[in-house]
Amino acid sequence: QQQVKQSPQSLIVQKGGISIINCAYENTAFDYFPWYQQFPGKGPALLIAIRPDVSEKKEGRFTISFNKSAKQFSLHIMDSQPGDSATYFCAALKAAGNKLTFGGGTRVLVKP
Amino acid sequence: DTGVSQDPRHKITKRGQNVTFRCDPISEHNRLYWYRQTLGQGPEFLTYFQNEAQLEKSRLLSDRFSAERPKGSFSTLEIQRTEQGDSAMYLCASSPLDTQYFGPGTRLTVL
């Protein structure tokens, strides 16, 4: 059972454009939602995270939008750069839980 | 470097051999996790330690897999009688509470 669904699987964006990745979850017990960036052959690196008591969080060029009623959240990468080309994973953690449940990943390619 | 470290970074082994991986978490983190990631997929949870106690194991962790964290610091993951299906990236993460920080992973190839 895929508890966190992520889309699209891949996207191509021009340098300077906006990358948007969407995730939907099923379990309302999730209460912590991080996004990770992963380069080939490397471990996932935490980008930004949000809790359901806020609707938006921004850190630099990265913004998470959160819709609790729809059980959806998204990552926006503003002014996308070629160095942002990587695979992005959304994830969810239950309250006082012990494991992250990951989405399937989105491969982003930023063209110069 | 004060991040999570893993050793080795790459391991090639023949089917049926045993392998052991090590993870050194961020020093003040009492929680340690193992995940497995296959190509093109998100990481999947394997097991979790709080200090030296192993508190949760996934159904993915068959009886060929064992993990330890003897003194609540570093952890080891052993796979006995490796199979080709064990080929994957094995990731370790540590956290003080919710936020998990991942190491670089150990890439296992079973021939």
Domain of residue A21 covers 4-111
Contact A100 B45 (CB under 8 A): yes
Which chain B residue's Cα is nearest to A10?
B40
Q: What is the mean pLDDT of chain B?
A: 94
Cβ within 8 Å of residue A12, ≥6 positions away: A108, A109, A110, A111
Which chain B residue's Cα is nearest to A107?
B40
Domain count, chain A: 1
pLDDT in tens, A18-63: 999 999 999 988 999 999 999 999 999 999 999 999 999 999 999 9
pLDDT at A92: 96
CB B105 within 8 A of CB B9: yes
Over residues B37-54, the mean pLDDT reads 94
Which chain A residue's Cα is nearest to B88?
A41
Find chain B residues with C-beta within 8 A of A44's C-beta: 43, 91, 102
* Residue A11 belongs to domain with CATH number: 2.60.40.10
Query: Would you call A53 exposed, middle or buried from its count of C-beta atoms within 10 A (0-12, 13-18, 19+)?
Result: exposed
Find chain A residues with C-beta within 8 A of B102's C-beta: 36, 43-46
Smallest Cβ distance to B41: which of A41, A91, A104?
A: A104
B92 CA: distance to closest CA in chain A (Å): 9
